[in-house]
Amino acid sequence: MDEDTLIATVFAPLATDAGADGLGDDAASFAGGAGDIVVTCDALAAGVHFFPDDPPAAIAAKSLRVNLSDLAAKGAEPFAYLLALALPADCRGDWAREFAAGLAADQARYGVTLLGGDTLRASPGGGATITVTAFGRTGGGATVRRRAARPGHRIVVTGTVGDAALGLQARLAAPYAIDASHAEALDRAYLWPDPPVAAWRVVREFASAAMDVSDGLIGDLAKMCRAAGAGAELDLSAVPLSAAVRAAVAADPSAFDRAVTGGDDYQILATMPDGQVAGYVAAIEALGFTATPVGTIRSGEPRVTLLRDGHAAEVLDGRFQHF
Amino acid sequence: MDEDTLIATVFAPLATDAGADGLGDDAASFAGGAGDIVVTCDALAAGVHFFPDDPPAAIAAKSLRVNLSDLAAKGAEPFAYLLALALPADCRGDWAREFAAGLAADQARYGVTLLGGDTLRASPGGGATITVTAFGRTGGGATVRRRAARPGHRIVVTGTVGDAALGLQARLAAPYAIDASHAEALDRAYLWPDPPVAAWRVVREFASAAMDVSDGLIGDLAKMCRAAGAGAELDLSAVPLSAAVRAAVAADPSAFDRAVTGGDDYQILATMPDGQVAGYVAAIEALGFTATPVGTIRSGEPRVTLLRDGHAAEVLDGRFQHF
C-alpha cells in the first residue's frame, strides 16, 4: 500500500476533528483557549518496547496509552494526538489496518482524535518506531507537577504494581512459578496497559504532585524525590499487588523486587496532604479504579527509604534505578 | 552516556521555557491563548531521509527545519518543539552533543525552544529515527490551508527549486556534470535546507492557500490541486533555478525533470489573487528571500498542466508523483 492510500483509507477515518483537515494538509490546528495546553511525546521501538509480533492493535493501544497516562498524571484532559509511524518496507497492509483498528477503539474509549502526523519508511534493518504526541488541556487549572511534592504529604498509587513487569518476564522465558490463569493476566497487563486516564480530573482536584509510574515504582518515586528536593518513605508492605503478582511472589520472593522496580505499570503516583487522601481514594474508586496510600514525602535528601512493617528495610538515593 | 545524563547535560539546556520544566517532568505545557495552535510532526530515519554519516548538526537542523517549513506555510509563527530521539545502542556521546549543538543554533536562528520529548533506544539493527513535533500560533488569524486554492489565483514559489534533489543525486554517485563549486552548493542545499520560516507572517497576510514544497514542486502542486478540487497550470520556463541547477541542466537537460520533481526543497508554494502578487513578492524579498510567480490555479479536474513558453507541454493528473 502506498503512503497516500495508507493515509487516505486507513488513517484519515481516525482524524475526525476539523482541525486535522482530513490529514490533507501539512499541519493540524486546534483552538488555544483558556489555561494550559499540556503536551507529551513518548515513542516505542520494535524489539525495545514491544515484540515485533505483538498484536498490532495492542502496539497501537500501548503507544497511545503511555502518553495519555502522562497527561492524566498532570491533571490534563486528553483531547488529541499526533502519530509518526515509521514502518519497515515489508510491513503488510493488514498490519496497518489492525494497528489503526486499535487506535480507533482507544479513540472511542478515551475521547481523543488523531490530529495529524507522518508515515515514513523505517530505518533499514530496524523495525517499526511509533511516536505519539498527545495533547491535553487543564481548562484553566494548573498543570500538576512532579516537583511539587511536599514533606508530610502522603504518597498514593493507583491500581496494582508489577503486573506488566512480571508479564514481560514470563514472555522472556524466565517465568516465575505462575499458573496459567495468572500468566494470562500478567501477559495482558504487559500488552494492554490500562492507565486510569479518566483520573485526570481527580488528580487535578486532590494531588499536590503526580507522575505516572512507567519505569518502576521505586525508581519513579526516586525521580519525584529528585525533582522535589525531598525524601520519601515507601511502605513495601502497603504496595498494592494483584492476585497474579501475589501468587508469583508466594512462589518466589524475588518476584517482589521485580514488581516494585520493573516498568510499564502506567499507574499514577500522587502526593497530597493527609486530609485529602480519603477523598482522592473515593474519587478514584468512583471512576472504577483503585488507589492505595503507600508512603510519605519527608524533608531532606532526595532518597527513598523502604519500610517493611514499619521498619526501615533499605535506603536508596535519588539516582537509584533498579535493584 | 545513560539517558538521565544525556537529558540533564545535553538536552535540558535547550529547554529554556518554563513550561518545559527543565525536562524534569512527564509532560510540558504552554498557554493556549487566542487563535489557533498549529502543530506538525515530521520524522526522519537514517538511511531513508539522511545518510547515517551526515554531520549530526545538519541532521538536527533538517529535523527541525522540515517542521518549521510546514508551520510557515500555514501562516503560523513557530515557538516550540518536542523531540523524540531514537538512537542506536552504539551511538557516541559526541554524536548527541553535536546534534544538540545543531538544535541550539537553530533555536537562536528561528526563535523556538525545546519543550520536551523522549529519548529511546532505536529498534535493533536500524539507525537513528528523529521525530519532531513543532508548534506555531496564528495569533488570532486563520490557519492558511492548501485546500483554499481558488481558480484564477496565481501560484508563487519562494527560493529556488531542485537544489537539494540534485545534491542528493550527486551524493548517490550519479552526478550530473557539475563543477566543484556548484556541487558544494547543491550538497549544502541537501544537508542544510533553508526554508523561509520568517515568511509565516507574509503568507498569512497575502496567501489564499499555501503548503511547503517537500516532495517535489510538481507533485506537491498536484497535492494542492487534489485538496482544492481545482487544476493548475505550471509554467516550467518560469520555475526559479539556482546557478548550480542551471549549470547542471545545461550539461544534461534531464536534470531539469529531477529538479522539478525531486524532494527536499522546503520552499513555500502559495496562491493568491493576481493583485496580491507584487506585494507578496516584495514582502518576501524584504525578509531576505525570493519569490517567483510560476503559474495559475484553474477550475476543473485536479490536474497539473505543464506549460513551456506558453504552450501546454504535458498534463498530469492529481495522482502524479514522479516522472
Q: How far apart are the first and last CA of chain B?
A: 46
Cα(B84)–Cα(A41) distance, rounded to whole angstroms? Answer: 7
Three-state secondary structure call for residue B244: helix
A146-317 falls under which CATH superfamily? PurM-like C-terminal domain (3.90.650.10)
- Is A49 annotated as ligand-binding? yes
Please list, residue by residue across A138-156, b when 16 or more beta carbons sit within 10 angstroms of its beta carbon and e when fewer do.
bbebebbbbbbbeeebbbb
What's the topology of domain A3-137?
60s Ribosomal Protein L30; Chain: A; (3.30.1330)
pLDDT in tens, chain A (323 residues): 788 889 999 999 999 999 999 999 999 999 998 889 999 999 999 999 999 999 999 999 999 999 999 999 999 999 999 999 999 999 888 999 999 999 999 999 999 999 999 999 999 999 999 999 999 999 888 899 999 999 999 999 999 999 999 999 888 876 666 788 888 999 999 999 999 999 999 999 999 999 999 999 999 999 999 999 999 999 999 999 999 999 999 998 889 999 999 999 999 999 999 999 999 999 999 999 999 999 999 999 999 999 988 888 877 654 444 44
Cα(B73)–Cα(A26) distance, rounded to whole angstroms? Answer: 8
Distances B77 to A12, A107, A306, B297 between C-alpha atoms, Å: 26, 30, 49, 27
- Which residue does chain B place closest to A38, by CA atoms? B29
Å between A139 CA and nearest CA of chain B = 10
Residues B23, B81 contacting (CB under 8 angstroms): no
Q: Which residues in chain B have Cβ-Cβ distances shorter than 8 Å to A36? A: 19, 29-32
Pairing of strands B77-87, B113-121: parallel
Interface contact flag, B36 A31, Cβ < 8 Å: yes
- At residue A49, φ and ψ (nearest 5 deg) are -110, -15
Interface contact flag, A26 B73, Cβ < 8 Å: yes
Cα(A279)–Cα(A272) distance, rounded to whole angstroms? Answer: 11
Cα(A228)–Cα(B205) distance, rounded to whole angstroms? Answer: 46
- Which residue does chain B place closest to A41, by CA atoms? B117
Give the dihedral sign, CA A117/A121/A124/A129.
positive
Element (H, E) at A95: helix A93-110
pLDDT in tens, chain B (323 residues): 788 889 999 999 999 999 999 999 999 999 998 889 999 999 999 999 999 999 999 999 999 999 999 999 999 999 999 999 999 999 888 999 999 999 999 999 999 999 999 999 999 999 999 999 999 999 888 899 999 999 999 999 999 999 999 999 888 876 666 788 888 999 999 999 999 999 999 999 999 999 999 999 999 999 999 999 999 999 999 999 999 999 999 998 989 999 999 999 999 999 999 999 999 999 999 999 999 999 999 999 999 999 988 888 877 654 444 44
B146-316 falls under which CATH superfamily? PurM-like C-terminal domain (3.90.650.10)
A18 interfaces chain B, CB cutoff of 8 Å: no
Residues A231-265 pLDDT 10s = 999 999 999 999 999 999 999 888 999 999 999 99
Cα(B217)–Cα(B210) distance, rounded to whole angstroms? Answer: 13
- Which residue does chain B place closest to A29, by CA atoms? B38
Pairing of strands A77-87, A129-137: antiparallel
A257's CB contacts (< 8 A; 6+ apart) are A323
Three-state secondary structure call for residue A23: helix
CA geometry: angle at A132 spanning A68 and B198, to 5°? Answer: 120
CA A255 to chain centre: 21
Residues B153, B297 contacting (CB under 8 angstroms): yes
In this complex, which of A26, A74, A115 lies closest to B70 when CB atoms are compared? A26
Q: How far apart are the first and last CA of chain A?
A: 46
Give B134's Cβ-side CA count (13 Å radius).
Answer: 33
- Domain boundaries defined on chain A: 3-137, 146-317
Å between B16 CA and nearest CA of chain A = 16
B310 interfaces chain A, CB cutoff of 8 Å: no
Interface contact flag, A123 B129, Cβ < 8 Å: yes
